[in-house]
């Protein structure tokens, strides 16, 4: 690195380097940067000449970094962060002209609460901002945030790694949902009735992230699970058209109840409260656009109020 003439290195080449490293794909990097694929390929050619290293080699349908690239990425990102910070300073973000593609993970129960208001804000005030939602359970959140392929995660359990920032954003309490006027449920759902009803639940590998099963088994035994799903979003529609019930996060249930005609019941046994967390890389702490995204999501959490009162409270 000491032999490189820095005056001959175009800053834009380092931005391309960061994008290719983050996406692992030249075409994806080109779309992220709003450049043509030949332009990105040309930038990589110039970088290879500068550093006398291939930097990236073909791997499957994309590329993977060489050892030299892996050594360079953190110093390059830190340099770009410092430069952006100096340019941005305390300047207010001009949402009307701000262009950015955010890649996030948003767990099912928070999506209807947080995303619709954010998308309305983008439509009205930030038309050049786009959001890409990644599947939460097929993503290694910590690795992807560190690699730069993920900007933010709203997740159901803590993630810890060097360079990550995590804050607890709200509690996750649980209620039982059933269709209105369920023939087998009185005003207050009792343990015997709950254990006798057929239930909808997440597939095993997803239920392992919560304490629901453990708490139910401790107090009542094994429940009768009839239908296993891979997302919480599936449950309200299925419950609305059957006599099955489901245990879901309270705030999600409150939002879904008036849409699907559901009644919320307090669980007949204590279920430990969990929490939702927001996770990002420390390099984005002072990034104006990233701060705007975090603040928008947190503002909606503060404004969101209960839409239904569980039966039997």
267 and 181 together in one domain: yes
What pLDDT does 252 receive?
94
Task: Provide the terminal-to-terminal Cα distance of the chain, rounded to the nearest Å.
Answer: 67
Query: Considering the entire predicted model, what is its pTM?
Result: 0.70
126 and 256 together in one domain: no
Q: Is residue 311 part of a domain?
A: no
What pLDDT does 7 receive?
55
72 and 218 together in one domain: no
What pLDDT does 102 receive?
93
What pLDDT does 77 receive?
83
76 and 11 together in one domain: yes
Q: Is residue 1 part of a domain?
A: no
Number of domains the chain contains: 3
Between strands 129-134 and 245-249, the pairing is unpaired
Q: Is residue 95 part of a domain?
A: no
47 and 191 together in one domain: no
What pLDDT does 209 receive?
63
Q: Is residue 18 part of a domain?
A: yes
Tens of pLDDT along 34-56?
888 999 999 999 899 888 899 99
Contacts of 265 (CB under 8 A, 6+ apart): 175, 176, 177, 178, 185, 188, 189, 245, 310, 311, 312
Q: Is residue 280 part of a domain?
A: yes
Here the CATH number for the domain that contains residue 248 is: 3.40.190.10
Query: What is the extent of the structural domain holding 27?
Result: 6-88
Cβ proximity of 120 and 302 under 8 Å: no
What pLDDT does 83 receive?
77
* Residue of 292, 178, 285 lying closest to 242 (CA atoms): 178
What pLDDT does 2 receive?
41
* Residue of 62, 65, 231, 19 lying closest to 138 (CA atoms): 231
218-251: b (≥16 Cβ within 10 Å) or e: eeeeebebeeeeebbebbbebbbeeebbbbbbbb
- Residue 173's SS3 state is coil
For the chain, residues with pLDDT lower than 70 are 1-9, 85-91, 138, 207-210, 305-313
């Amino acid at each position: 690195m000491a032999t490189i003439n820095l005056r001959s290195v175009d800053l834009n080449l380092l931005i391309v380097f960061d994008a290719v490293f983050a996406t692992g794909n030249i075409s994806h990097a080109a779309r992220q940067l709003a450049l043509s694929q030949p332009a990105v390929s040309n930038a990589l050619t110039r970088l290879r000449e500068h550093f006398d290293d291939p930097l990236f080699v073909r791997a499957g349908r994309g590329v993977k970094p060489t050892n030299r690239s892996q050594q360079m990425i953190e110093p390059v990102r830190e340099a770009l962060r410092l430069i952006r910070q100096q340019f941005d300073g305390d300047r207010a973000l001009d949402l009307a002209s701000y262009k950015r593609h955010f890649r996030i993970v948003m767990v099912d129960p928070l999506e209807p609460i947080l995303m619709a208001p954010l998308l309305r804000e983008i439509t009205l005030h930030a038309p050049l901002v786009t959001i890409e939602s990644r599947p939460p359970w097929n993503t290694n959140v910590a690795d992807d945030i560190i690699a730069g392929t993920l900007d933010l995660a709203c997740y159901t359990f803590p993630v810890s790694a060097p360079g990550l920032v995590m804050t607890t954003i709200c509690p996750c309490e649980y209620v039982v949902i059933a269709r209105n006027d369920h023939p087998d449920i009185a005003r207050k759902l009792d343990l015997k009735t709950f254990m006798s009803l057929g239930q909808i639940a997440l597939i095993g590998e997803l239920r392992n992230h919560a304490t629901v099963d453990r708490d139910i088994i401790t107090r009542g035994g094994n429940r009768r699970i009839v239908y296993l799903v891979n997302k919480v979003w599936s449950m309200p529609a299925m419950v609305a058209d059957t006599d099955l019930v489901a245990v879901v996060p309270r705030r999600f249930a409150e939002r879904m109840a008036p849409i699907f005609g559901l009644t919320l019941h307090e669980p007949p046994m204590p279920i430990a409260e969990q929490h939702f967390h927001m996770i990002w890389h420390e390099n984005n702490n002072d990034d104006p656009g990233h701060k705007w995204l975090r603040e928008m999501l947190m503002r909606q959490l503060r404004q969101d109020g209960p839409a239904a009162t569980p039966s039997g409270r």
